[in-house]
Amino acid sequence: MGNKIILCPNPDKDRGLAVTRRARELLEGAGHRVSVCPEYLDRPEEAEGGALLDELPGAFLVVSLGGDGTIMHTARRMTGSKVPILGVNLGTVGFLADLDCGELPSLLDAAAGGFRLSPRMMLRAELMRNGALVYENYALNDVYIHGIVQMLHLTARGDGRKILDFSGDGLVIASPTGSTAYSMAAGGPLVEPTAENIILTPVCPHALAARSFVLAPERVVTVEIGRLRGGAMLSADGNAFEIRAGDTVRVCKAKHKTLIARVGGKTFYDIVYEKLGERT
């Protein structure tokens, strides 16, 4: 019997689970054991004996079928696991996914061990209120602090030393993997995804001196939430929690990494040019 593979489909991207079924047929035809994770499905019975992501022991590979958001959700659920994730892109841009739906036969190479590991640093975010921890989460891409209707005032520190103090729409705290996401759109730098850095990028700051910073991975970033004229949110890879004036957000490098499986020959630079380069 071959390796145990867990398929994690996003039913909003894979309508009727058509791609998932093709992937399962390919893998089982090659002698691999396959389970479909029911955590994303409205009808868990479609998993047909699937395995939850809490039941990873014995799994050789997790295949995420959807977009980058599906991979990020999977990575958070697998925090602390050493099982690699291979992404099949059914979305649009897809920086994290290595395969498109037309490249499903490459799953056989991956299932046979023909992949490279790309370790990715994750971020841990904590929200402190009146000295108590009220929320914590992990992010593969970024932690975003932002106002809902109007701008907010933020003071960001690294190991207690002031880095940024500004009013604006918000602040993105990104990992190298997340440097190609909202941080880039807000004017932040592109960083090789296997690097280890913490990237601070202000969003629409009302201050000429508020620029993006690339910090060492051992820095502990604290962000003090100042005056608010409207609501504000803390978002970890899109998972939002309400924040209030006087709260403090603490972000640091997580102890665990996400292992992304790569089967193609494309480099980070190839992917950036393909996804973001000028079209001729």
pTM: 0.90
pLDDT value for 222: 98
Q: How does residue 54 score in pLDDT terms, banded at 50, 70 and 90?
A: low
Residue with tokens 């093709």: 22
Highest mean pLDDT among 36-50, 52-66, 196-210: 196-210
CA distance to 36, 61, 147, per residue, from 259 (Å): 20, 10, 33
Extract the tokens encoding 40: 């994303």
96-105, 154-163, 173-182: the lowest-pLDDT one: 96-105
Residue with tokens 């909003």: 12
Return the sign of the alpha-carbon dihedral for residues 26, 30, 32, 33: positive
Mean pLDDT of 48-55: 52
pLDDT value for 228: 83
- The CATH number of the structural domain formed by 122-255 is 2.60.200.30
Catalytic-labelled residue, pool 14, 68, 142, 247: 68
Q: How does residue 47 score in pLDDT terms, banded at 50, 70 and 90?
A: very low
- 3-state secondary structure at position 264: coil
Q: For the chain, what is the mean pLDDT? A: 89
DSSP secondary structure of 183-194: HHHTTPPP--TT
Q: Quick one: CATH architecture of 4-115+263-276?
A: 3-Layer(aba) Sandwich (3.40)
Q: Are 234 and 143 in contact (CB under 8 A)?
A: yes
Return the sign of the alpha-carbon dihedral for residues 253, 263, 54, 141: positive
Q: Is 68 a catalytic residue?
A: yes
Mean pLDDT of 196-209: 94
H-helix or E-strand spanning residue 62 = strand 59-66
Residue with tokens 């730098």: 189
> Do the domains 4-115+263-276 and 122-255 sit in the same CATH topology, yes or no?
no
For the chain, the structural domain boundaries read 4-115+263-276, 122-255
